[in-house]
Amino acid sequence: MNKYLIVGLGNMGIEYEDTRHNIGFLVADKLAENLKGTFKSSNFGQLCETSYKGRKTFILKPDTYMNLSGNAVKYWIKKENIQPENCLILCDDLSLPFGSIRIKSRGSNAGHNGLKSIENSLQTQQYPRLRFGIGSNFEKGQQIDYVLGKWNDDEKKILNERIILSAEAIKSFIFSGISNSMNEFNGK
């Protein structure tokens, strides 16, 4: 049976809730809700074991903090014997307009600390990711405050519909594969 690991990147703790950097957690929560799963405390984070159309699916929200996300990903890939191409990483992306999503089968970390950690732990850039655009509406030198900042009122108006779209894209990845999902969801 094919197994899938879906990893929402973010930081644990109340001070990080509803921040742009935690979009991976929000999308993971929506996916678990769609698949009627619940998160339980486990090794390296909160884990939801569920399935989608007969495919065993693990949804992980690492508790390692963003900079050490690779430890959690490596542990669960090895423990469950999941192929890296069946591991989808959900993360924020400053280079994409707010709310847009882009699915890629591989690529650079583009300066994202969570992706850097995963790349270092797995010793490869060959793993799929879903990047959720958070925009780049900040002044020079304010990137950290922006990324760790809360969603503004305009963003909040459409955030949920974009999270729902992201969860649909993940279900497509699990059932239809990366190429079909890229064709259907990139640019939406």
> Which residues form the catalytic set?
21
Per DSSP bridges, beta strands 129-133 and 55-62 are unpaired
d(CA 180, CA 185): 9
Contact 158, 141 (CB under 8 A): no
* Edge-first strand listing for the sheet containing 3-8: 40-42, 45-52, 55-62, 3-8, 87-93, 129-133, 101-104
Contact 174, 53 (CB under 8 A): yes
Give the bridge partners for 119, in sequence order.
none
d(CA 126, CA 108): 9
Nearest to 21 by CA among 159, 150, 147, 110: 147
